[in-house]
């Protein structure tokens, strides 16, 4: 397969490889910065979605901090990003709180019990470290979400994420600085407006007692068609309704790296069993698990729906899992051994979710600037990475 001129610098690279498009990443960051400037909110990079720390210097030019889902992400933020460090986890340990309080700006708890156990410990530890006051947050459940995929819905029935109002004491808001909710996934600002309405209906009195709120992630701000004007209005109007609120945070992961990366793989073998099957040098469960979890169909450069073009193939991975199947695509020309395929939108929720199942190598990590036609390998992996995890 002949690569377009835009990707000519990638023709000789080793595969599989994640390649972050630094030009596209910066375009996203500029859009997020415009939202900050127009609304007065602060946008944090959600490390659970994108943690390629070699790109942190670029991201730091536009965003002032990060949000972590645990202590290791927070330590990565301290070492490579700086700025504001927020951290949330459904259940912390005492040792984690003692370490986090020595450097994190805000710790967000998940329940009344976690707040009771660790709030004072966090404050005392921060004081002993000479850091002064540490921000204390509580994640709450607004009991409303429009997420259709159950596995990604933090407000689904029986969810462990976020405290229900009925589980909290009347004075809980007196013990915290921030209220936090997360109820969205790849959604537009009209959904945020409806979530905020439910949040206010349930927690309005508590909102008036805190100084900060966090509207969580799932905001598809950098997607074509996203209503940025409505987002800015939603944030600005919230400030007007609650003059006690000094800062509103958003914490997108996907919006930062949306369409800012590709995944390069090559055809190893063509087989046939009812249809033509192209076995690639990558793996769905190892390298793109959302394909199986969501399920998700990644776009392929030059690929189309089955039968839409002349030659149709099932793209499959090289692990022994019977379900290591990426999807069925059609192409103008027949695939052959050695052809490179480029999967689109493969920067977020990819590198952070890889495994070495079956001893399959982790993909290389690289950056690419189409405007400069520059390609740079950041990291390669091999046997030692597989061995060290066992």
Same domain, 110 and 247: yes
Same domain, 223 and 266: no
Q: Which range, of 74-78, 282-286, 351-355, 371-375, averages the lowest pLDDT?
A: 371-375
What's the CA gap between 369 and 42, in Å, rounded?
Answer: 27
- 230, 257, 284: which is the final residue of a domain? 257
Can you give the CATH number for the domain in which 375 is found?
2.40.37.10
- 204, 235, 257: which is the final residue of a domain? 257
pLDDT at 1 over 90: no
Same domain, 101 and 219: yes
Mean pLDDT on 226-240: 98
* Cis amide linkage into residue 295, ω under 30° from 0: yes
Q: How far is CA 277 from the centre of its chain?
A: 31
- Domain span at 369: 5-16+261-346+361-388
**Residue 351 falls within a domain, yes or no?**
no
Same domain, 113 and 127: yes
Q: Is the four-CA dihedral 221, 9, 362, 321 of positive or negative sign? A: positive
Can you give the CATH number for the domain in which 232 is found?
3.20.20.10
Residue 196 token pair: 């905020």
pLDDT in tens, 16-56: 999 999 999 999 999 999 999 999 999 999 999 999 999 99
What's the CA gap between 252 and 56, in Å, rounded?
Answer: 15
- 206, 236, 257: which is the final residue of a domain? 257
Same domain, 224 and 272: no
Same domain, 280 and 171: no
**Residue 355 falls within a domain, yes or no?**
no
Question: What pLDDT is stored for residue 10 in this prediction?
Answer: 86
Same domain, 231 and 296: no
The answer to whether 22 and 368 are in contact (CB under 8 A) is: yes
Same domain, 131 and 181: yes
- Band (pLDDT 50/70/90 cuts) for residue 2 is low
Residue 268 token pair: 């190893």
Our count of domains for the chain comes to: 2
Residues with Cβ within 8 Å of 92's Cβ and at least 6 positions away in sequence, in order, are: 100, 107, 109, 114, 118
Residue 259 token pair: 């369409």
pLDDT in tens, 188-229: 999 999 999 999 999 999 999 999 999 999 999 999 999 999
Same domain, 175 and 278: no
- Band (pLDDT 50/70/90 cuts) for residue 3 is low
Same domain, 244 and 280: no
**Residue 353 falls within a domain, yes or no?**
no
CB atoms within 10 A of CB 313: 23
The strand pair at 135-139 and 106-109 is best described as: parallel
Same domain, 197 and 289: no
**Residue 108 falls within a domain, yes or no?**
yes
Question: What pLDDT is stored for residue 293 in this prediction?
Answer: 86
**Residue 334 falls within a domain, yes or no?**
yes
Half-sphere exposure (Cβ direction) of 61: Cα atoms closer than 13 Å: 10
Same domain, 193 and 55: yes
């Amino acid at each position: 397969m002949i690569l377009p001129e835009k990707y000519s610098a990638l023709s000789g690279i080793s595969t599989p490889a994640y390649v972050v498009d630094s030009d596209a990443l910066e375009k996203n960051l500029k859009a997020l910065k415009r939202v900050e400037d127009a609304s007065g909110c602060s946008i944090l990079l959600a490390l659970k979605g994108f943690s390629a720390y070699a790109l942190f210097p670029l991201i730091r030019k536009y965003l002032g901090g990060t949000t972590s889902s645990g202590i290791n992400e927070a330590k990565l933020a301290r070492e490579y990003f700086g700025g504001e460090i927020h951290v949330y986890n459904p259940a912390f340990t005492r040792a984690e709180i003692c370490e986090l309080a020595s450097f994190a700006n805000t710790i967000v708890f998940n329940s009344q019990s976690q707040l009771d156990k660790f709030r004072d410990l966090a404050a005392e530890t921060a004081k002993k470290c000479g850091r002064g006051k540490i921000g204390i947050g509580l994640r709450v459940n607004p009991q409303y979400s429009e997420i259709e995929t159950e596995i990604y819905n933090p407000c689904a029935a029986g969810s462990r994420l976020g405290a229900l109002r009925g589980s909290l004491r009347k004075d809980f808001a007196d013990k915290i600085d921030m209220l936090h909710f997360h109820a969205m996934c790849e959604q537009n600002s009209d959904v945020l407006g409806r979530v905020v309405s439910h949040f206010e209906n349930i927690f309005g009195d508590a909102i008036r007692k805190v100084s900060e709120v966090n509207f969580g992630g799932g905001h598809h701000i950098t997607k074509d068609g996203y209503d940025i004007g409505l987002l800015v209005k939603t944030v600005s109007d919230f400030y007007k309704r609650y003059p006690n609120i000094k800062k509103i945070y958003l914490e997108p992961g996907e919006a930062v790296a949306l369409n800012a990366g590709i995944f390069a793989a090559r055809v190893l073998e063509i087989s046939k069993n009812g249809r033509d099957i192209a076995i690639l040098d990558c793996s769905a469960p190892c390298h793109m698990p959302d394909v199986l979890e969501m399920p998700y169909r990644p776009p392929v450069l030059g690929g189309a729906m089955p039968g839409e073009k002349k030659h149709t193939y099932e793209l499959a991975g090289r692990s022994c899992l019977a379900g290591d199947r990426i999807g069925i695509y059609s192409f103008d020309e027949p695939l052959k051994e050695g052809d490179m395929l480029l999967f689109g939108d493969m920067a977020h929720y990819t590198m952070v979710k890889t495994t070495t199942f079956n001893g399959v190598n982790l993909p290389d990590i690289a950056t690419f600037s189409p405007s400069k036609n520059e390609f740079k390998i950041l990291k390669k992996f091999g046997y030692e990475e597989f061995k060290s995890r066992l």
